[in-house]
Chains A and B, each alone.
Chain A
Amino acid sequence: MTLTQKRIIILLVIIVIAAVLGRLAVRAVMNFMLGGTMFGGNFL
């Protein structure tokens, strides 16, 4: 695996993690204000 390929994989992993955390952050704030669980129901 070349260095460039490694960097692309790392970038993809970072994007996925950031996207998941972004959605979870919104859900956490909404739950804090309105009530609700962090998991279950809608996807994230």
Chain B
Amino acid sequence: MNREKKKDRVMWGFIYVFVFIAAFAGSVIFKMTYNPYGSEFSVHWDNSVGIAYTDISYDSGGANKFDLYVPSDNSKDSYGLIVYLHAGGFTGGDKSDDTQILQWLCGKGYVTAGINYTLFSETHPDASVYSQSIEIRESMVSVIAEAEKLGYPIDEMAIGGGSAGGCLALLYAYRDAETSPVPVKMVFEAVGPSSFYPEDWKSYGLDKNADAARELFGTMAGKEIKSEFGTLEYDEEMKDISALLWINENTPPTLMAYGKYDKFQPYEGSLRLLAALEDNNIPHDYYLCEHSGHGLQNDNKVYVEYMRKILEYLDSYMPVN
């Protein structure tokens, strides 16, 4: 009898352990695969929505390609263009990563484009944030010409991106808008760095290591940083890649989202951006994910509000004709 009881206990012990492991694994899989946004920010893509043209070259570099999404309705006199630039820390990522948002916004009646740029790598050690921003600037003529060739004349544009793409989107909107082939009506971005002050970049230890800061920021700017931090000369040296330093009364409306605990680009930098937009009376909205880092991963409600606000901004600043 005792032996029977003992056997029973051992069996149930195994059952408890097995159930724990199964529930734990199921919970992990669910958390990693669950899409909290449903289909709100996507579209079922087919010919009734639009047509995609992929890997169109805008220059001779291997990465100098873009994808263009055009709406099925080609009867309008003109269209607004939305460019969305991919994330990847300036060293990775691809325009195909943003297929969903490009299709979604195309489904709203816009011509959309995802543009690749030469990534910093062993094969491209000279690539920098600056060279990437120049490639984006130079690509815009080709993107607009291609849209026109397909029967979609572009008369205005918005630009957006995430992380590295956000940084490049801000640079185009703030630094290059004056020379843009069409007016830049607004910019939207998430977690893109817009300034490079060592005291902000604590998670890299740059606040305590000036040499490391000089090396990292120099690599990003594509040149040797010679001036002292905190000086006007330093600002001048970094201006090529610091969107913050280009803000003036003509800066386009800006929608942005940041994470308070971001390890990749400092939250403090986003406060500088916010202050500069306020000082210059630029229409803006700043969504802060109070519990999140670079992925804005712990604040779905705030992220949903940011995504919905993109449509509100488009309706206000670049409505579909």
Select B291's contact among A14, A17, A18, A37, beta carbons within 8 Å: A37
Taken together as a complex, chains A and B put the C-alpha atoms of A34 and B90 apart, in Å, by 16
Is B293 an interface position by the 8 A CB rule? yes
A25 to chain B, nearest CB (A): 6
A34 contacts B293, C-beta separation under 8 Å: yes
B16 contacts A22, C-beta separation under 8 Å: no
Say which size band chain A's interface belongs to: 20 to 34
Is B262 an interface position by the 8 A CB rule? yes
Q: How many residues of B contact A (CB 8 A)?
A: 36
The A-contacting residues of B in range 280-303, CB under 8 angstroms, are 289-295, 297-302
Write the B12-34 contact mask toward A (1 if CB under 8 angstroms, else 0).
10011001111111111011100
Select B28's contact among A10, A17, A25, A37, beta carbons within 8 Å: A25
Taken together as a complex, chains A and B put the C-alpha atoms of A23 and B31 apart, in Å, by 6
Select B25's contact among A14, A20, A22, A44, beta carbons within 8 Å: A22
A26 contacts B264, C-beta separation under 8 Å: no
Which residue in chain A gives the minimum CB-CB distance to B262? A35
B135 to chain A, nearest CB (A): 27
Cβ–Cβ < 8 Å partners of A33 in chain B: 263, 293
A34 contacts B28, C-beta separation under 8 Å: no
A-B contact pairs, 15 of them (CB 8 A): A11-B19, A22-B25, A23-B31, A26-B28, A31-B261, A34-B259, A35-B261, A35-B264, A35-B292, A35-B294, A36-B295, A37-B261, A39-B291, A41-B289, A41-B299
> Taking beta carbons and an 8 Å cutoff, which residues of B are in contact with A?
12, 15-16, 19-28, 30-32, 36, 203, 259, 261-264, 289-295, 297-302
> Taking beta carbons and an 8 Å cutoff, which residues of A are in contact with B?
7, 10-11, 14-15, 17-23, 25-27, 30-31, 33-37, 39-42, 44
Q: Which 5 A-B residue pairings sit nearest by Cβ, starting from the closest?
A: A35-B293, A22-B27, A41-B291, A18-B23, A34-B293
